[in-house]
Amino acid sequence: MNGPPLDHVFAALADPTRRAILARLAEGEATVSELARPFGLAQPTISKHLRVLEQAGFIEQGRDAQRRPRRLVVGGPLRDVDVWLQPFRAQWERRFDALDALLQRKQQKAKRTRGLKGTPR
């Protein structure tokens, strides 16, 4: 993988405020004060979170030099969040695979029983 190591990506995502900031920026760019408002946090606190997200490669500064909005990096590590969710998805996938196998065994058993009775198809 190119870009920041996955450890930084995970660490950046480990905080609920930072995840909420990413969710907000997914809707479009926002300035520090715009980001600070809904969270009821002081601007320096938000700035600190933004720095972590920036270093992890999630966000960058927009073009407007005056407002200095932040925005999501296109094709940034957010793609790898899916990697982070992989164990969760895999857990349910395995569970439903087992359910599928159970249902298939049941279908085959029913078919065999019908066969033994000599019921025509």
Partner 1 sequence: MITKTKTHIDRGTFTITFQRTFAAPREDVFDAWTDPEQIKHWWDPTGAPLAGCEVDLRPGGAFRFTMASDHAPPFTGVYRVVERPAQLVFDAMGGVGTVRLEADAGTTRMVVTIRCTSAEHLDQFVQRGVDAGTDQTLDNLGAHIARSRKAR
Residues that bind partner 1 (CB under 8 A): 16, 19-20, 23, 84-104, 106-107
Nearer to partner 1, 42 or 85 (CB): 85
- Using CA atoms, how far residue 121 sits from 108, 112, 118, in Å, is 14, 12, 9
Smallest CA-to-CA distance from 73 within 57, 49, 92 is with 57
How many of the other CB atoms lie within 10 Å of CB of 80?
19
Nearer to partner 1, 64 or 93 (CB): 93
Nearer to partner 1, 1 or 101 (CB): 101
Minimum distance, C-beta of residue 27 to partner 1, in the bound complex (Å): 10
